[in-house]
């Protein structure tokens, strides 16, 4: 008795899906096609029959169509950027709320006569000056700190200008200039630090609020848990009973 041969099926071969072109690749291809189109058009115009010239309406329509495609691709790229910022930036930044962070920033928001930065000297300085500038770039406060040692230094400003007049709340900039013993310029780094109290989107960028100042979330250089509040003292004394 013979065993029947196993049935065979002619299943189609598996195909690998082709990933769609990215916005940048599509724009590059469109630019190449546009240059090719212009080259062909220029050649046609040079060699056209003077008695039967090319129809200008036709290639004008083609130019308009290519411009429309380019605008659509640019719009798609912008939407993708907004989506990336929303999904990545916001989700990451929200996790920072309530955390103590340090972010590289020279700007800060003065509120109620209080504004604080931290600056870092990469090495000991022989000459050091700290200035505060307003939104127009005008120096409104300047001082020469006595501590020139390398490392972190806190700088607090009470919001008063050099004449002792209180300035309005708003955004100000710190500028730290320093030189070493040989007169060579140092490059201090300035930071804002404190608890993160909010997150927002502005012009496609994700901002966090640190001590009232808004900074880009991707400028954060360190994150720490806030210090635990001291435990309340418990009264362990036992009331005495009368005898």
CA distances from 169 to 62, 124, 135 (A): 55, 33, 11
3-class DSSP string for the chain: CCCCCCCCCCCCCCCCCCCCCCHHHHHHHHHHHHHHHHHHHHHHHHCCECCECCCHHHHHHHHHHHHHHHHHHHHHHHHHHHHHHHHHHHHHHHCCCCCEEEEECCEEEEECCEEEEEEEECCCCCEEEEEEECCCCCEEEEECCCCCCCEEEEEEECCECCCCCECCCEEEEEEEEEECCCCCECCCEEEEEEEEEEEEEECCEEEEEECCEEEEHHHEEEEECCCCCCCCCCCCCCCCCCC
Distance (Å, whole) CA 61 – CA 35: 16
Q: How confident is the model at residue 31 (pLDDT cuts 50, 70, 90)?
A: low
pLDDT of residue 189: 94
- pLDDT band of 35, cuts 50, 70, 90: confident
Scanning the structure block, which residue is given the tokens 């003077």?
Answer: 50
Give me the pLDDT at residue 185, please. Answer: 95
**108 touches 171 (CB < 8 A):** yes
Q: How does pLDDT run across 221-241, given as a tens digit for each residue? A: 888 888 777 665 555 455 555
The domains found in the chain, sorted by start residue, are: 100-224 (2.60.40.4070)
Q: Report the predicted TM-score, pTM, of the whole model to 2 decimal places.
A: 0.56
* 95-144 pLDDT, tens digit each: 888 888 999 999 998 988 999 999 999 999 999 999 999 999 999 999 99
């Amino acid at each position: 008795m013979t065993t029947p041969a196993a049935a065979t099926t002619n299943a189609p071969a598996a195909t690998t899906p082709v990933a769609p072109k990215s916005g940048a690749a599509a724009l590059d291809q469109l630019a190449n096609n546009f240059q090719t189109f212009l080259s062909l058009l220029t050649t046609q115009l040079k060699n056209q029959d003077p008695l039967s010239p090319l129809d200008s309406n036709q290639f004008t329509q083609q130019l308009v169509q290519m411009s429309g495609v380019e605008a659509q691709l640019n719009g798609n790229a912008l939407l993708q950027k907004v989506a990336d910022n929303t999904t990545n930036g916001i989700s990451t930044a929200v996790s920072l709320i309530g955390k103590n962070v340090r972010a590289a920033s020279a700007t800060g928001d003065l509120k109620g006569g209080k504004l604080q930065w931290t600056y870092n000297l990469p090495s000991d300085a022989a000459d050091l000056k700290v200035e505060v500038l307003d939104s127009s770039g005008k120096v409104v406060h300047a001082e020469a700190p006595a501590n020139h040692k390398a490392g972190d230094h806190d700088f607090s400003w009470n919001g008063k200008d050099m004449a002792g007049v209180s300035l309005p709340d708003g955004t100000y900039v710190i500028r730290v200039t320093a030189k070493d013993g040989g007169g060579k310029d140092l490059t201090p780094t300035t930071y804002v630090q404190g608890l993160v109290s909010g997150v927002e989107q502005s012009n496609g960028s994700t901002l966090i609020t640190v001590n009232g100042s808004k900074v880009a979330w991707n400028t954060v250089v360190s994150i720490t848990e806030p210090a635990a509040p001291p435990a309340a003292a418990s009264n362990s004394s036992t009331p005495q009973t009368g005898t």
